[in-house]
Amino acid sequence: MSNPDGSKCCGANDLGLLVLRLGFGGVMAFSHGLGKLNMLLEGEKFPADPLGFGEQPTLILAVLTEFVCSLLIVIGAGTRIAAFGLLCTMATAIFLVHANDPWDTKEPAVLFAIPALALLLTGAGRIAIDPLIVKKIRGVPQA
C-alpha cells in the first residue's frame, strides 16, 4: 500500500505493531484494567500498596496504567509514554509485589512487561494516531 506521494503506508512491521498493540493493549485493558476500574468505582480497597502511596492512590495508578494506558496503546496515541507506564507497573509487580513468590506467579507480569518494553522501543508504527500527532506538531501537511 502506498500514500499519494508514493511513500509506503504500512508494511509488515507496521501491521505487526498494530497486532501487538491490539492484542497486548486489549488483553491488559479488559482482563486486568477493567477489573481494577470496577474496584475503584465500587469503592473497594486495593489489596496491595507496594510503593507506600496508600491503597486508594495505588489503585488509581493501577487503573491509569492498566486501563487508560492500555487503551491508548490500542489506538496508538502516546504509545511510548503509555508503554513506559505499563512497564513500570509490571516491574513493580515483578520486583515488589511478587518478589518472594514463585516464578509461575511472576510470569504473567513478565509476559506483559515484554510487549510494553517492545512498544517503548519501537513506538506505535504508522497505523496509529501517534504519526498523525507528530505530523500536526511538525506542521507537515496531510494528504
Distances (CA, A) of 2 to 41, 75, 76: 45, 21, 20
Q: Alpha-carbon distance 125 to 55, whole Å? A: 36
Q: What does the pLDDT look like over 67-99, one tens digit per residue?
A: 999 999 999 999 999 999 999 999 999 999 999
Mean pLDDT across the chain = 91
What's the whole-number mean pLDDT along residues 2-13?
Answer: 65
β-sheet bridge partners, residue 52: none
Give the predicted TM-score (pTM) of the model: 0.86
Question: What's residue 5's pLDDT?
Answer: 45
